[in-house]
Amino acid sequence: MSDGEGEPTAGDPEVSDEALMERYVAHGDRAAFEGLFARYAKRLHGLFMRQVNSRDAANDLVQQTFLHFHRARADFHAGRAVRPWLYTIALNVRREHHRRRGRKPEVSHDPIAHGEPRVEPSTSTRTDRLVRRALGELTEQQREVILLHYYEDLSFPEVAELVGASLSAVKVRAHRGYERLRALLGEDAGK
């Protein structure tokens, strides 16, 4: 479905997520759905990449998230914010992924082990790996809070709502996880 004449396009950054969602839910507007996908898919992919082992798995999780987003659209009520709603779905999809795999999430992506051509990593790629490895040392609860607060830039009250914990519990997890990361990356810098 194309945007109506004079109506702001889905790619327009001035159009709010909620306005796109309303068009998508009420009218099945494909462009609005695509607009929401374009805004969030890359960030969600990054979030998943920091928690799962492979790009394929992260792609699959993004796909699953938007599949559930589509199926659940009748549950979206006007006046709600889209972002926390979408992230709740993403976290549930990721939890289900880990539960099915039946093991602790791996957070290091080793291209050699995955048969990818060996290239000299740039400094930032190397740092990505170090951060991922350090994130892998945290508990799942700490990692979840750290990623949502620092990486996704969600406020602590929003994170508390998403993970279903009290505000104080979320702050404690973030503090402990952050201190652990600092220690791990400090050790690494000293090597």
Partner 1 sequence: MDETEARLRRELSRVPEDDLAPGDLADLFSRVAAETVDRPPTLRDRLRELSTPVRIALAVGGALIMVTVALLIVGIRTDLTGQAMARYAVAMAAIAGLMGAAFAASLRGAHQRPLRWWTWVLVVTALLVPLALAVMPWLWEGDGVIRPSGHAHPFGMCGVMGLVTGALTAAVAWAFQRESWSVTSRLVAAVAGGGLTAFAMLQLHCPSGDATHLLIGHSSAGLMLAAVAVGATLWRRRR
Three-class DSSP category at 127: helix
Asked whether position 151 contacts partner 1 by CB under 8 A, the answer is yes
Which of 6, 184 has the CB closer to partner 1?
Answer: 184
Q: CA dihedral in degrees (54, 59, 62, 67; nearest 10)?
A: -130
Smallest distance from partner 1 to CB 181, Å: 6
Question: Whose CA is closest to 156, among 48, 50, 84, 69?
Answer: 84
Smallest distance from partner 1 to CB 120, Å: 13
Which residues have a Cβ under 8 Å from the Cβ of 86 and sit 6 or more positions away?
A: 36, 40, 44, 65, 69
Smallest distance from partner 1 to CB 106, Å: 15
| Contact letters for partner 1, residues 95-134 (x by CB under 8 A) | xx---x--------x------------x-xx-xx--xx--
Helix (H) or strand (E) holding 29: none
Q: Which of 26, 67, 81, 167 binds partner 1 (CB under 8 A)?
A: 67
Asked whether position 156 contacts partner 1 by CB under 8 A, the answer is no
Query: Would you state the structure tokens that stand for residue 23, as one six-digit string?
Result: 């068009």
